[in-house]
A and B are shown apart, each in its own frame.
Chain A
Amino acid sequence: MATDLATVASPPPATPVERFRLHPRPNSGTGLRWLNDLREAGLDRFGRLGFPPARSEAWKYTSLRALETLPLEPVAASDRLIAPSAYAPLPLPPELNRSRLVFVDGVFDPAQSRTAALPAGVVLAPLRQVLAERSDLAEAHLGRIAEGEGQAFISLNTAFVDDGAVLHIPDGVDLETPVELVFVGHAGDRPLVWHPRILVVAGAGSRATVIEHHAGVGGASYLANGVTELALGRGARLNHYRAQRESLQAHHMAMVTAHLAQDAYYDNFVLSEGAKLSRNQIHCVLNGSGVTCRINGAYMVRGRQHCDTATFIDHAYPHCASREVYKGAIDNQARAVFQGKIMVRPDAQKTDGYQLNRALLLSEHAEIDSKPELEIYADDVKCSHGATAGDLDADCLFYLMARGIDRDSARGLLIGAFLNEAVDEMEHEAARDGFRTLVADWLKGR
């Protein structure tokens, strides 16, 4: 009787902020004061920000109203049950030797993970383990790259930062075997939330390839609220790819921040095909001259999917180049959003910046909202951007049909070619082939 009264007396919290305040704090890294402060600051900031308001410029075309009302719950130990074969692995060549860390509902799963022979000094481990054994590594970078100010989801992730992947490569080391980070969304009967964090510190002159794979099982409804922090030292080269294939009922937030030191070379590609609502946010800070920053991607959505891409490339030093090619195919009632910004600060002379977003509307109810933006304060620069929207080119279609290819096949061929033009920007061959396969598979589902 008394319990019943208590339930009646305290209605469920109305806002996401109130609800998240009730989530238990992570228990990793106990005793680490800096970590505790970091989390508290994150929760504080999130408390002040709340979910981005409907009219904010950064979220102009993406409504979070449905997510706001979702009664998200933290992951409990009993939630982590998954057979290794329950998710479709990334179609990478089997002979490709690679390390793999697997996370199920945001929690590291040692049973499915394996580590290839790594060069001396390389650390590749789940965040919880690093916090326990090498907290110095985490302390030096965690929360120092991803900017939480004005960023509700980054702040939220920081408030509950617990598990994830850490890759630390010493100066000059070439990590020949790619690192595959698999995040499986599995959640059962109620909507869960987790906040994975990836930290990659690539020492001067080091080389590495990191392939993220986000897969969902069945029609699970959850929020995967991920933050990735990357620090590339002088002359470091990092290939960083992501295949986003979350469950079609899932919400996927991925906020990447990359700090690129002088002469660093960063090759990023994001393929988005999953999730009910996804946000692919990339923020690159070019912290020295001679940096090459490549931010490319493809999105393929159907049904009522909503896919939002927001990128920001910040040129602060001279003689840097950035290139961004995003291509998308939008079918049925799906909607895609692209907001890309290139900033060239006053000292960033000789900047070479290029940005392109091209979207195919494949059905009469599909929608694209595109906002490519240049903000330039240096005069000796070469910057351009372009955006297009519309259906397949009628001349191309007719040409193919005049050669005997039926309309459907011709359309498929052209859509594939269109998307693969972006995929071909990927520099790692095996990964590129794998991603091309994903495009082909998606087209088969038409």
Chain B
Amino acid sequence: MVANVETIDQVRAVTEQKYKYGFFTNIETETAPKGLNEDIIRFISAKKNEPTWLLEWRLKAYRHWLTMAEPNWAKVGYPPIDYQDAYYYSAPKMKEKPKSLDEVDPELLRTYEKLGIPLREQELLAGVEKPAVAVDAVFDSISVATTFKAKLQEYGVIFCSISEAVEKHPDLVRQYLGSVVPYSDNFFATLNSAVYTDGSFVYVPPGVRCPMELSTYFRINAENTGQFERTLIIADAGSYVSYLEGCTAPMRDENQLHAAVVELVALDDAQIKYSTVQNWYPGDAEGRGGIYNFVTKRGACRGRASKISWTQVETGSAITWKYPSCILQGDSSIGEFYSVAITNNRQQADTGTKMIHLGRNTRSTIVSKGISAGRADNTYRGLVKIQPKADNARNYTQCDSLLIGDRCGAHTVPYIECRNRTASVEHEATTAKISEDQMFYCQQRGLSQEDAVSLIVNGFCKEVMKELPMEFAVEAQKLIGISLEGSVG
């Protein structure tokens, strides 16, 4: 008996260490009734005091969604999702919109503290030399706080929740919302267009280099709740912004749906750097629970010599379905995609990018590192498309897969469509495992097996990790080690 209790405790300790963000915050919430219909959409829209055009847009999306079929081409398997058996709106109860952090429920603040995301600016500023990061914190369906807004305003940078943007900057939102990912784009993006609840909005005015990193921290807390956030970032001519995105969720036995849309617009000479560390709850070792992460991220390099760079470290989620893409419209524009995707246990990831070359002298670089362990499946799926007018377009793609253990899968599915002779497209992919020599060498120098794996995998991912902003890189490195715990031995 005693032994049993001990065992249970040990197991619990181990599991909790593996996913340290798996706690649940007990907080009073306001929730819309379960299910999805036009009334729910009207409810969401009304909650947010939205203008009629936006409600109409949501309804148009919803009606279109009803005619669509869930995509099945990705190499992921899951039981059918009952879209009526989920909540589409859940928000921490607040009397009024909090005017300052002091009005925010302390329980909420504690949650973010626990997650390592300080929301108090003074704390941030007091914190030694660490550069300041402005944070928009999204809790279930709504944004609860955005920091450093005032300081950013001095530069003319708008950083707020998208709901606030609809209220305060309706023209900007109306001009760009759905301009990169139209409401009819794909099953999950269309669903998002109908029911999105919040997200972040960024506008960087011409010639401005955003003075600090911007970030959004997404937290799913409530049970049976889908998170549908929508992010819109516009970098006006000659501007620069670096944006980070992080996310976690409690450990639950049931699967939760996360269907986000991110739209980026870069005008002439503008640059957007978008980094993601995705650490949604991945489910347990047997594949119970975890987030279904069906995300549409796309950037349009509209302007001449504009640049959009996606960097992602994907360690969480039961299922990842995401293809951050670049539409290279402007002549001499640049698209980049740097990705690390780690799957362990029963996780499934089907991720990659699309680089659509439309303009002349456009360039794209794709570096993808897939690591698969346990009984997981990890697929790189990418499209490089060179259209007839994209003279001198260049693409270079490197996809490397690492397998840890003999029960996982690593797959590479690139599509290359080239319709311009002056273009040059190059794709290379390799698959290998951690060599016994490397393992032995590390262990002989005193590293434990798990430390050795973490070290080697971090080396394998280096090309991608160095693209991450400093503040994220360290955390991401640790995360890689944690995600692979229990994968060897």
Contact = CB atoms under 8 A, between A and B. Distances in A.
Given A372-B414, A388-B427, A379 B406 contact: yes
Interface in B413-447: 413-433
A387 B417 CA distance: 11
A370 interface: yes
A279 B423 CA distance: 26
B427 A386 contact: yes
B73 interface: yes
Contact of A384 (B405, B411, B425, B428): B428
B412 A385 contact: yes
B422 A368 contact: no
Contact of A391 (B413, B417, B422): B422
B409 A376 contact: yes
B417 A369 contact: yes
A361 B433 CA distance: 36
Contacts of A399: none
Nearest to B379: A375
B421 A346 contact: no
Contacts of B429: 372, 374, 384-386
A366 interface: yes
A349 B433 CA distance: 11
- Interface extent on A, as a size class? 35 or more
B406 A346 contact: yes
B415 A390 contact: no
B214 interface: no
A373 B386 CA distance: 19
A379 B427 contact: no
Interface in A10-54: none
Contact of A390 (B388, B406, B413, B421): B421
Contacts of A374: 401, 410-413, 429, 431
Contacts of A370: 414-418, 427
Given A381-B433, A389-B424, A376 B411 contact: yes
A364 B412 CA distance: 29
B415 A371 contact: yes
A422 B401 CA distance: 27
A388 B430 contact: no
Nearest to A359: B418
Interface string A349-382: 1000000000101111111111111111111111
A99 B427 CA distance: 42
A376 B418 contact: no
A371 B421 contact: no
Contacts of B410: 374, 376
Nearest to A330: B421
A133 interface: no
Given A371-B414, A374-B411, A387-B425, A380 B433 contact: yes
B28 to A, nearest CB: 48
B489 to A, nearest CB: 14
A375 B75 CA distance: 10
Contacts of B409: 375-377
Most chain B CB within 10 A, of A61, A349, A363, A391, is at A391
B73 A368 contact: no
A331 to B, nearest CB: 10
A252 B425 CA distance: 29
A417 to B, nearest CB: 18
Nearest to B380: A374
A388 B433 contact: no
Chain B interface, DSSP helix/strand/loop, else mixed? strand
A57 interface: yes
A343 to B, nearest CB: 9
B407 interface: yes
A378 B404 CA distance: 9
B421 A364 contact: yes
Contact of A372 (B388, B407, B427, B433): B427
Contact of A363 (B404, B408, B421, B428): B421
Contact of B404 (A362, A379, A389, A391): A379
A310 interface: no
A383 interface: yes
Given A386-B429, A391-B422, A368 B411 contact: no
B433 A362 contact: no
A375 B381 CA distance: 11
A384 B418 contact: no
A368 B416 contact: yes
A372 B380 CA distance: 12
A373 B428 CA distance: 11
B403 interface: yes
Most chain B CB within 10 A, of A359, A362, A368, is at A368
A382 B425 CA distance: 24
Nearest to B423: A390
Contacts of B418: 359, 361, 367-370, 389-390
A30 to B, nearest CB: 45
A340 to B, nearest CB: 11
Given A378-B403, A390-B418, A384 B427 contact: no
Given A367-B419, A373-B412, A376-B409, A381 B424 contact: no
A375 B427 contact: no
Interface in A60-102: 61
Nearest to A57: B73
B426 A381 contact: no
A376 B431 contact: yes
Contacts of B422: 364, 390-391
A346 B421 CA distance: 40
B412 A389 contact: no
A225 B404 CA distance: 44
Contact of A373 (B406, B411, B425): B411
A380 B429 CA distance: 16
A389 B425 contact: yes
Given A390-B418, A391-B421, A376 B401 contact: yes
A387 B414 contact: yes
A346 B73 CA distance: 22
Nearest to A364: B421
Given A386-B429, A388-B426, 19 more contacts: A361-B420, A361-B423, A364-B388, A369-B416, A370-B414, A372-B412, A372-B429, A375-B411, A376-B431, A377-B407, A379-B404, A379-B405, A379-B433, A384-B428, A384-B430, A388-B427, A390-B422, A390-B424, A390-B425
15 contacts: A346-B407, A361-B418, A364-B388, A367-B419, A371-B415, A374-B412, A375-B409, A378-B403, A381-B432, A385-B429, A386-B426, A389-B418, A389-B423, A390-B425, A391-B422
Interface of A: 57, 61, 346, 349, 359, 361-391
Q: What 7 A-B pairs are tightest by C-beta distance, nearest first?
A: A379-B403, A361-B421, A390-B424, A389-B418, A370-B416, A383-B431, A379-B433
